[in-house]
Amino acid sequence: MDEIALTDELLDNIIAWMQPKYSLSTQSNRQIFLRKIFKTHNTLNQDTLRKIMKQIKYQHERSCLVMINNYCYDSGIDFHLNIPSIKKQANKLPEILSPEEIKLIINSAPKPYDLAIRCIFNMGAGLRVSEIIKFCWNHIRWVDWIENKDHYGVAIIKSGKGSKDRVVNIPKRLMQDLYDYAKELDVLNEFGIPTGMMIFDFGQESLSEKKKKEMDDLMRYDLELWKEKYVRKRYMWFRYNIIQKHCEKALNKHIKIHALRHSRSTYLYEVEKVPVEKLQILLGHSSINTTMIYTKINPKSVFESIKETKEL
C-alpha cells in the first residue's frame, strides 16, 4: 500500500502508541507536528511527502514521519514511506547545572516541591519529571528501611520510559525527610508504613470540583487516557508554578527541568566516579551510547587536569 488516509482515528492511535516509548517533551513536540500534518493533508503518500519535506526544518519533524512508518510496521499496516534525509544540525550537549545551582533551585521552591526536586536529583542517577509525578508511597520499600534507618532506601520506578521498571536508591537523609512528610500528611498505617497514591499532587488539589469530576470519570472509563492527561497537566503545572515562578526567578535564567537528571548523572560520573555501565542501569537507558553522553559534557575534569599550567 503506497497511500494511507490521515483520519482522526489514525492520529489517536499513533499518539497512544508513542506514549510509553517517548518522554513527555518528545511526545509534545511530535504531537504538534503530527497534528499539523493531519490537519493539512487528507492522505499521506509520496506526493504529499514531497510537500511536507519542503516545510521541514528540524530533525524532530522528520522523525514524526519515521514514527508513522514505525507505527504502521508495529500495527501490521502495509504502508511505508521512503523518507529522504535532511541536513543534520549539530547536536547540542545537555545543559548541566552546578551543585550550587541545584541547591539554590531546591531552596527557592516552596514546600513540598523542594522535596520533589530533591527526589528528581538524588534518587538513583536522576528521575524524569513524569516519574516523580507518578511516584507513589508504595513504590518505596519502607519495611526494609524502617528496620535499619541508618541505611539508604530503595524504590521501584514504575513504568518509566519504554514502560520499563527499574530499581533506584534513595539517600538516607532524603528517605527520612520523605517519611517525615508522610507523618505530616498522616498517611501512616498502624504499622508505621506510608500508604496511599501519589506522594506529590502537583497542583491537583487546586482543580475545581468540575475538573476533578471530569478526571475521575475519565479514570473510570479510560485509564490510559487519564494517565496521559494527568501526567501532562501536572507536568505543565510544575513547569509554570514551581520552576518558572520560583526557581528561574532565583537563578535568573531559564531552566530545563530535565537538566536536573542530566546534572545528577554527570555529577555521579565526574565526582563520585560511578562507572558508566552502572549509570546505564540506574538511568534505565536501553543503549549505553545514550549514557555515554554524560562522559563528554562536563569540562570540569579537563579544567582540573590543566589547572597548574603556566599563563604566558
Residue closest to 280 by CA, chosen among 302, 265, 258, 301: 265
Q: Where are the domains of the chain?
A: 4-74, 99-251
pLDDT in tens, the chain (312 residues): 788 999 999 999 998 888 777 776 778 778 888 998 999 999 999 899 888 888 887 787 888 888 899 999 999 999 988 888 876 655 566 678 888 999 999 999 999 999 999 999 999 888 888 899 989 999 999 999 999 888 899 999 876 565 678 889 999 999 999 999 999 999 999 999 999 888 999 888 777 888 878 877 777 777 777 777 888 889 999 999 999 999 999 999 998 888 888 888 888 887 778 888 888 888 877 777 777 776 665 555 555 555 565 555
Q: Is the pTM of this model over 0.85?
A: no
13-37 b/e (C-beta count within 10 Å ≥ 16 → b): ebbeebbeebebeebebbbebbeeb
pLDDT, residue 115, reads: 96
Task: Measure Cα distances from 232 to 58, 175, 197 in Å.
Answer: 24, 27, 18
Note whether 294 and 301 are within 8 A (CB).
no
pLDDT, residue 210, reads: 81
Task: Measure Cα distances from 238 to 56, 61, 228, 243 in Å.
Answer: 31, 26, 16, 6
Cα 176–chain centre separation:
25
Q: Would you give the DSSP letter of residue 167?
A: E
Which contiguous run of DSSP H or E holds residue 4? strand 4-5
